[in-house]
């Protein structure tokens, strides 16, 4: 059976989860399902403790489930991913090799997400539980700095963040930034990290490592575009990313096994031997018969001075099928719309040029920092202006 552990962002809840994970990782205890308040009434999750996960409930081998993680896509439908103890250990071991050895970890992510679980797993396998930031009041840079100060004074230090947290720490400066710069590696994943934020962080002395992965791969399995040892990355003819290797989940609870390969919903390409993730296949915008990757447009917009963030969506258009529309978070010296459109046109061509740019206070997010494109689409509308959507 599956052991449910309630988590609420508090260090005490993480301690309970850590205690449950120890036997789950060794194969002597049941699989663990971290459960936040928001999912406790969800029917699929409520039934999970009565189900078996894989051929063994407590085992640590290929058929055993060490952790069950609730994940959801843009539709919000919960799916329960079964990760064996072996997959969790393989991921943690490969991470240690890539980052230069065992380290003390700081947990600043929700413990119910796979990235949070993996911080705990990596810390346990390195010999000590992580330092835990209290997230009940949200993520606060001052609390991050205070938590970092509790780590042992010697040895390597690692943490894992989402881009929004990284930006807040950089904005805060002072003790928060000093603490961040004290880590030997800062994994950043959960959502795309734009070039401007990455350059800003590295310019400030932060040792950023960009990660790509998902619950189905035990979290990040590609670091700075290079797969972890043992991880396989294949691209289908249309660019769809297919992942495999020892970190892969068994499957979804109650569903068929993955069979060693997971066909993701992401598109990618190889550039100079590194994987570049272009975005979700179902986010692709088709305008006038041309395919436009929203993530590519967002990178161009976010790289412009005076733009602090961007999210690009396709909205229905009677003539072109879909029109490209961008929500942007403006900072000081925001360029005019014509300047932004010209930058996109120069980098990506006419089809990618946003027909409309809408200023917003913030980009709506879901999960651990992914843009909520459905919410953004509701914020923006197609105007009746006669501009050709291809600029």
Residue 85, strand partner residues: none
* Helices vs strands, H then E, count in the chain: 11, 23
Cα distance between residue 8 and residue 111, in whole Å: 8
Give residue-wise pLDDT tens across range 328-372.
Answer: 999 899 999 999 999 999 999 999 999 999 999 999 887 667 888
Q: How wide is the angle at C-alpha 41 spanned by C-alphas 35 and 46, nearest 5°? A: 65
Average pLDDT over every residue of 219-240: 96
Cα distance between residue 113 and residue 184, in whole Å: 23
Kindly report the average pLDDT of the chain as a whole number.
89
Cα distance between residue 76 and residue 78, in whole Å: 6
- Structure token digits, residue 18: 């850590």
CATH class of 2-278: alpha beta
- At 102 the three-state DSSP class reads coil
pLDDT of residue 43: 53
The segment(s) of the chain belonging to CATH 3.30.300.30 are 284-379
- Structure token digits, residue 342: 């010209």
Answer positive or negative: Cα dihedral of 24, 211, 297, 241: negative
> Which of 180, 204, 32 has the alpha carbon at shortest distance from 106?
180
Any idea which of 112-121, 258-267, 371-380 has the lowest mean pLDDT?
A: 371-380
pLDDT of residue 62: 37
Q: Are 326 and 312 in contact (CB under 8 A)?
A: yes
* Confidence band for 382, pLDDT divided at 50, 70 and 90: very low
Percentage, residues of the chain above pLDDT 90: 71
Tell me the whole-structure pTM to 2 decimals: 0.82
- Structure token digits, residue 380: 């923006």
State the first-to-last Cα distance of the chain, in angstroms, to the nearest integer: 57
pLDDT at 149 over 90: yes
> Which residue has tokens 């100079």?
272
pLDDT of residue 317: 84
- Structure token digits, residue 140: 């606060």
Average pLDDT over every residue of 97-102: 96
Question: CB-based contacts of 365: which residues, under 8 Å, 6+ apart?
Answer: 164, 191, 371, 372
**Number of Cα atoms under 13 Å in the Cβ half of residue 296:** 23
pLDDT at 322 over 80: yes
> Which of 391, 289, 290, 280 has the alpha carbon at shortest distance from 343?
391
* Confidence band for 156, pLDDT divided at 50, 70 and 90: very high
The segment(s) of the chain belonging to CATH 3.40.50.12780 are 2-278
Average pLDDT over every residue of 298-314: 92
Residue 127 DSSP symbol: T
pLDDT of residue 77: 64
pLDDT of residue 1: 78
Any idea which of 152-161, 250-259, 348-357, 369-378 has the lowest mean pLDDT?
A: 369-378
Give residue-wise pLDDT tens across range 23-78.
Answer: 999 888 899 999 998 777 665 565 666 555 554 333 333 345 599 999 865 445 67
pLDDT of residue 387: 45
Any idea which of 5-9, 47-51, 100-104, 239-243 has the lowest mean pLDDT?
A: 47-51
Cα distance between residue 24 and residue 60, in whole Å: 8
Give residue-wise pLDDT tens across range 275-288.
Answer: 999 888 888 899 98
Residue 275, strand partner residues: 270
Helix ranges (DSSP H) in the chain: 11-26, 43-46, 85-99, 114-126, 141-148, 163-172, 174-181, 195-203, 294-302, 337-348, 373-379
Separation in Å, CA 159 to CA 189, 208, 245? 11, 10, 24
Burial of 270 from C-beta contacts in 10 A (0-12 / 13-18 / 19+)? exposed
Question: CB-based contacts of 295: which residues, under 8 Å, 6+ apart?
Answer: 192, 277, 278, 279, 283, 312
CATH (one of 3.40.1410.10, 3.30.300.30, 3.40.50.300, 2.40.50.180) for 284-379 = 3.30.300.30
* Confidence band for 101, pLDDT divided at 50, 70 and 90: very high
Give residue-wise pLDDT tens across range 158-197.
Answer: 999 999 899 999 999 999 999 999 999 999 998 888 888 8
Residue 283 DSSP symbol: G
Q: Are 58 and 15 in contact (CB under 8 A)?
A: no
């Amino acid at each position: 059976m599956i052991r449910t552990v309630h988590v609420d962002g508090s260090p005490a809840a993480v301690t309970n989860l850590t205690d449950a994970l120890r036997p789950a990782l060794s194969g002597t205890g049941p699989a663990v399902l971290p459960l936040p308040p928001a999912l406790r009434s969800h029917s699929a999750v409520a039934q999970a403790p009565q189900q078996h996960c894989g051929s063994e409930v407590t085992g640590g081998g290929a058929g055993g489930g060490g952790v069950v993680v609730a994940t959801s896509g843009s539709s919000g439908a919960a799916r329960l991913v079964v990760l064996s103890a072996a997959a969790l250990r393989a991921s943690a071991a490969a991470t240690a090799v890539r980052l230069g050895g065992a380290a003390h970890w700081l947990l600043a992510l929700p413990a119910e997400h796979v990235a949070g679980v993996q911080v705990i797993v990596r810390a346990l396998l390195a010999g000590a539980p992580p330092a835990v930031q209290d997230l009940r009041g949200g993520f606060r840079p001052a609390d991050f700095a205070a938590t970092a100060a509790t780590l042992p004074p010697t040895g390597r230090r690692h943490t894992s963040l989402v881009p929004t947290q990284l930006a807040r720490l950089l904005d805060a400066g002072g003790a928060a930034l000093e603490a961040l710069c004290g880590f030997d590696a800062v994994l950043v994943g959960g959502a795309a990290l734009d070039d401007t934020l990455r350059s800003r962080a590295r310019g400030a002395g932060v040792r950023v490592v960009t990660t790509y992965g998902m619950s189905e791969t035990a979290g990040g399995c590609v670091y700075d575009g290079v797969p972890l040892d043992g991880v396989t990355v294949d691209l289908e003819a249309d660019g769809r990313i297919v992942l495999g290797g020892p970190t892969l989940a068994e499957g979804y609870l109650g569903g068929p096994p993955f069979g060693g390969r997971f066909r993701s919903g992401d598109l990618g390409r190889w550039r100079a031997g590194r994987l570049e993730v272009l975005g979700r296949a179902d986010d692709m915008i088709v305008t006038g018969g041309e395919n436009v990757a929203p993530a590519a447009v967002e990178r161009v917009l976010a790289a412009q001075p005076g733009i602090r963030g961007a999210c690009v969506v396709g909205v229905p258009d009677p003539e072109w099928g879909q029109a490209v529309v961008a929500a942007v978070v403006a900072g000081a010296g925001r360029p005019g719309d014509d300047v932004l459109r010209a930058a996109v046109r120069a980098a990506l061509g006419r089809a990618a040029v946003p027909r409309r740019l809408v200023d917003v206070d913030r980009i709506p997010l879901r999960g651990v920092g992914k843009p909520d494109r459905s919410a953004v689409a509701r914020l923006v509308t197609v105007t009746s202006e006669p501009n050709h959507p291809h600029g």
